Amino acid sequence: MAYRIIPLEIVLKEHAPYPHVPKRKHSNVDDRNEIRVLVEQHKRTIRETHLASNYFPELTRFRKTFLRYDLADKNAKNRAFFDKWLTHPVVEAGWSPAGGWTLERISELHADVENVKA
């Protein structure tokens, strides 16, 4: 029994974007305002947190925002905040242990978070 080899031809097509989907007009001002609102929301959440077990999860969310919008490179104060609070192994891993928070450390976090700018 003889087998016959049939050559296959692969054709790739380029698809244009859907014509019925309107393109959103982006402006740098709108993007900056959205980032500013998001950063202020993170800062407010950190200031209003009263349970020590909620600090690490909020710092993890803040870290994601910092990385997404490259906020650490905006100014020296942002870089200092990122290096001091957002590079902690627990924050990077996304864990939420309650230990390690003293009144002095929480006060220091609140003071440092006020220096963050979007």
Q: Give the structural domain span for 60.
A: 34-113
Residue 38 has pLDDT above 90, yes or no: yes
Who's near 14: CB < 8 A, 6+ residues apart? none
pLDDT at 8 over 80: no
Report pLDDT for 22.
55
* Residue 4, domain member (yes or no): no
Q: Which residues of 38-57 are buried (b: 16+ CB within 10 A; e: fewer)?
A: bbeebbebbeebeebebbbb
pTM score, whole prediction: 0.71
Domain count, the chain: 1
How big is the chain by its Cα radius of gyration, in Å?
A: 24
- Asked if the structure places residue 57 within a domain, the reply is yes
In a domain, 87, yes or no: yes
pLDDT above 70 for 111: yes
Q: Is residue 79 part of a domain?
A: yes
For 76-107, how does the pLDDT look when each residue is reduced to its tens digit (9 = 90+)?
999 999 999 999 888 888 777 767 788 899 99
Q: Is residue 12 in a domain?
A: no
pLDDT at 19 over 70: no
